[in-house]
Amino acid sequence: MTAFRLELRRARSLALWLAVSLAVYGAIMGAMYPVLRSNDALMTEYMQTFPKEFLAAFGMTGLLSDPGVFFTTYMASWLWPIIATAAALLLGTRAVAADLDRGFLDLPLATPISRVRYLATNIAAQVVVLATLATTAVLGIWLTAAATGNVFDLGGYAAAGVLAFAFASAIAGPTTLLSVTTLSRGRASGIVGGIVFGMYAVFVVTQISKDWAWIAPVSAWDHFRTTALIDDGVVPVGDFALFAAIAVAGWLGALWAFRRRDLAA
């Protein structure tokens, strides 16, 4: 518990600022919802001036007043991926590479705590922080909308929060693995950040041009479908399982690799 508590404490500042950003943004968007709703026809007319494919690239696949489209457009398609990627890269690389770089890693590893246990506490702290951020991303919008008399389906939003958490974990797991294998936070975050950006680019391209639709499944955004989840109640079990499998494989791989990793940076 000692190591876990310290890891949580170290993540406190990062988690706090990211959560505040999400909550404030969510509150602003939630407060805007009644305006969008009362001007639905006008908004729809305005959006029809844009190509459908272009709007789809930003999650606008229906009426903005639909709770799912609203969440996807204003949170899931851009701010959450940015926040989730930043948090996952910072937390995932800190686990081993950054702490080795700053000379901290030697201190806990020179105590009787095993490497696996030490890294496991770090991963547990990642899970707590990412879950907190995902909850904030969902609750910020939901609570503010509710406060203005627009109560969204809590189950749908909760499920979207779980999917958002799984999305972030699928970035954090491989980052942690690369942090252990490369012992370089620059390389680990560069590789994962590059892949995430590449997947976003693939998603945008596949939305704009149907000729490239076949490649869409390689993009995480193709599996992060919160609109159907909230508006139609379609639980994307496969997508959730895919994110979870990537996250768990990354973390387990990191634990396995770290067990006997030569810490020669």
Q: Name the residues that contact another protein, by CB under 8 A.
A: 2-3, 6, 10, 13, 99, 102-115, 260, 262-264
- In the bound state with another protein, the residue whose beta carbon lies nearer, of 109 and 244, is 109
DSSP letter assigned to residue 95: I
Written as six digits, the tokens of 71 are 């969440």
State the minimum distance, in angstroms, from the CB of residue 101 to another protein: 9
Tokens 């951020």 sit on residue: 133
- In the bound state with another protein, the residue whose beta carbon lies nearer, of 82 and 113, is 113
- In the bound state with another protein, the residue whose beta carbon lies nearer, of 44 and 114, is 114
* Whole-angstrom distance, CA of residue 123 vs CA of residue 252: 10
Written as six digits, the tokens of 151 are 């109560």
- In the bound state with another protein, the residue whose beta carbon lies nearer, of 8 and 158, is 8
- In the bound state with another protein, the residue whose beta carbon lies nearer, of 34 and 108, is 108
- In the bound state with another protein, the residue whose beta carbon lies nearer, of 7 and 231, is 7
* Whole-angstrom distance, CA of residue 118 vs CA of residue 113: 6
- In the bound state with another protein, the residue whose beta carbon lies nearer, of 100 and 188, is 100
> 141: how many CB neighbours lie within 10 A of its CB?
29
Burial class of residue 111 (count of CB atoms within 10 Å of its CB; 0-12, 13-18, 19+): exposed
DSSP string, 200-220: HHHHHHHHH-GGGGGGGGGSG
Closest CA to 177 of 113, 122, 240, 109: 122
DSSP letter assigned to residue 153: -
State the minimum distance, in angstroms, from the CB of residue 103 to another protein: 3
Closest CA to 61 of 231, 210, 200, 240: 231
Residue 97 and residue 184 in contact, taking contact as beta carbons nearer than 8 Å = yes
* Whole-angstrom distance, CA of residue 27 vs CA of residue 91: 26
For residue 170, the one-letter residue type is A
* Whole-angstrom distance, CA of residue 34 vs CA of residue 194: 38
